[in-house]
Amino acid sequence: MINQHDSFPLSPYPMFSSRRTTTESVDTAVFVTESGNIYRLNPEIIAGTDEVILAAQSVSLSIANGSTAQLCEEISGRFDADTAGQIEVVTEVFDAVNWYADDKSPISRTVHATCQDNS
Amino acid sequence: MITQLDQWLFKAAPSSRLATLRILCGLYATIFLVARAESFWTTADLPARQVEGVGVLWFLDSPLSATIFHLAFLLTIVLGIAFTLGWQFRFIGPTFSILFLFVATYRLSFGHVIHTEHLIALHLLVLGFTQSGDALSLGRRTQENDAERQSAVYGWPIQIMILLTVITYVLAGISKVQHGGWDWLTGDVLRNQVAYDNLRKELLGSPHSPFGGWLVRFGWLFPPAAIATSIVEIGAFVALANQQRLRWLFALSAWAFHVGVVLTMAISFPYPLSFVAYAPLFAVEQIWSTKLVTRLLRRKTYL
């Protein structure tokens, strides 16, 4: 019906229209301490931007084109941890609705790259 | 039919209405650029591997020089002020609207298109290439600066701005039904979207909406919210009618929809939220004769 090729300033405005299920995967990067605690990194550390969607897309693109090791090193350069640990580029799958019903255990977790914090 | 279209499009309007829209949109765009300066500025440092040109920069496959982009961005802000003031408008109008299009396009050429600047970019192009500098402009002689002049020359750009606003909403509404199908109208897609969007923000260490997360627990809320969203978006065409009541109905319900998006997903569409996006629907030149503005202008005169 409408050409779905998104562009600027002309667009089919596809935001919020994807046929999402409750189970969705999120590509992100985290800092994992030696004791196994997971700390979330913000978009500026992950991708050098304050746009969350762009940060998510940066991780997804790096997974798609096999450059997660490079991304991991770039994140490491932007991150200053005060404890020992490593950075992981991951895909986490959650039931998003259950998450907000306090079931926060991941359905699956795939680590694409790890690197030491350089700080 | 063609006569009706002709009458709708070439409706006479005072020069001050188009000029007031220039001031409102120019001011909004300039404030937006300053407020989002960090995001624009750091675009120049994004990795080359992410470059994916869109729109007028469709050919882009490597980043521009950071210095050139930074200079273009700073120039856009300066020209935004001149555009708002209407100074040297024959030159500044087109130049600013094209520069805004350029810097906004470049920011979106790194792998993902967000939809906060589409409508203002289109509105600026309309204002920049028409006679919106004929009134309320700095540096024009009084006889040229006639705010009361009525003509279709000032009317058709406003009608185009209205049409662009309406098309934006109708397309967004159609996209939702086209992608989400029946599940969109039953509220399932919307509920999952609110849950996913907030979860993604949490996992990416970004501000999210705890309120939206809490609402996800109540599935029954989402079918009426989804239907209301579709009515507002697909029903936007009512704003094409020259009836103030219908226009207010559309503008207020669309604005309320955007407030709802902020509250449930922490996603801000600043142009509609500022209400400037809906300004072409109304006789905005009347703001200059409101008591508050008259008093402010008078006080400035005394100074």
Helix/strand/coil for A21: coil
Taking contacts as CB-CB distances below 8 angstroms, the residues of chain B near A69 are none
pLDDT (0 to 100) of residue A69: 95
Q: Is residue A52 a part of any domain in this protein?
A: yes
Q: Is the pLDDT of residue B17 over 80?
A: yes
Q: How many domains does chain A have?
A: 1
DSSP per position, A33-45? ETT--EEEPPHHH
The answer to whether the Cβ–Cβ distance between B216 and A45 falls below 8 Å is: no
CA dihedral A75, A78, A81, A86 (to 10 degrees): 20
Q: Is residue A1 a part of any domain in this protein?
A: no
Tokens 């089919």 sit at which residue?
A12
pLDDT band at B179 (very low <50, low <70, confident <90, very high): confident
Least confident of A49-63, B80-94, B274-288: A49-63
Which of A15, A104, A108 to probe by mutation at the B interface, max B CB count within 10 Å?
Answer: A15
Q: Which residue in A has a C-alpha nearest to residue B201's C-alpha?
A: A52
Q: What percent of chain B has pLDDT over 90?
A: 77
The answer to whether the Cβ–Cβ distance between B168 and A13 falls below 8 Å is: yes
ipTM: 0.86
Task: Give the pair of three-digit tokens for residue A58.
Answer: 């940066």
Q: How far is CA B250 from the centre of its chain?
A: 15
CB pairs under 8 A between A and B: 172
pLDDT (0 to 100) of residue A118: 58
pLDDT (0 to 100) of residue B215: 95
Which of B176, B196, B215, B265 to probe by mutation at the A interface, max A CB count within 10 Å?
Answer: B196
Q: Is residue A41 a part of any domain in this protein?
A: yes
Higher-confidence position of B299 and B98? B98
pLDDT band at B74 (very low <50, low <70, confident <90, very high): very high
Q: Is residue A4 a part of any domain in this protein?
A: no
Q: Is the pLDDT of residue B272 over 70?
A: yes
pLDDT band at B302 (very low <50, low <70, confident <90, very high): very low
> CB-CB: which of A4, A8, A52 is closest to B54?
A8
- The per-residue pLDDT for range B196-213, each reduced to its tens digit, is 999 999 988 888 999 999
The H-assigned helical ranges of chain B are 2-9, 15-35, 37-43, 66-85, 89-107, 118-128, 152-185, 188-203, 210-215, 222-234, 244-265, 270-273, 291-302
Taking contacts as CB-CB distances below 8 angstroms, the residues of chain B near A53 are 112, 114
Q: Is residue A11 a part of any domain in this protein?
A: no
Taking contacts as CB-CB distances below 8 angstroms, the residues of chain B near A74 are 47
Q: What is the DSSP letter of A107?
A: S
Domain that holds residue A30: 23-116
Q: Is residue A51 a part of any domain in this protein?
A: yes
> CB-CB: which of B42, B172, B205 is closest to A49?
B42
Distance CA B50, CA B62 (A): 9
Q: Is the pLDDT of residue B102 over 90?
A: yes
Given phi > 0 = left and psi -120 to 50 = alpha, else beta, which region is B88? left
pLDDT (0 to 100) of residue B183: 80
Q: What is chain A's pLDDT, residue by residue, as a tens digit (119 residues)?
A: 555 678 999 888 887 777 788 888 999 999 999 999 999 999 999 998 888 888 998 999 999 999 999 999 999 999 988 888 999 999 999 999 999 988 888 899 999 999 986 55
Average pLDDT of B221-248?
A: 95
Q: Which residue in B has a C-alpha nearest to residue A11's C-alpha?
A: B118
CB B188 within 8 A of CB B52: no
How far away is chain B from the Cα of A99, in angstroms, using its nearest Cα? 8
How far away is chain B from the Cα of A49, in angstroms, using its nearest Cα? 6
The answer to whether the Cβ–Cβ distance between A92 and B203 falls below 8 Å is: yes
Taking contacts as CB-CB distances below 8 angstroms, the residues of chain B near A24 are 192, 196, 199-200
The answer to whether the Cβ–Cβ distance between A99 and B38 falls below 8 Å is: no
The answer to whether the Cβ–Cβ distance between B111 and A65 falls below 8 Å is: no
pLDDT band at B22 (very low <50, low <70, confident <90, very high): very high
Q: Is residue A7 a part of any domain in this protein?
A: no
With CA atoms as reference, report the closest residue to B247 among B224, B255, B19: B255
Beta bridge partners of B168: none
Mean pLDDT of chain B: 92
Least confident of A107-111, B127-131, B187-191: B187-191
pLDDT band at B142 (very low <50, low <70, confident <90, very high): low
Q: Is residue A8 a part of any domain in this protein?
A: no
Q: How far is CA B273 from the centre of its chain?
A: 9
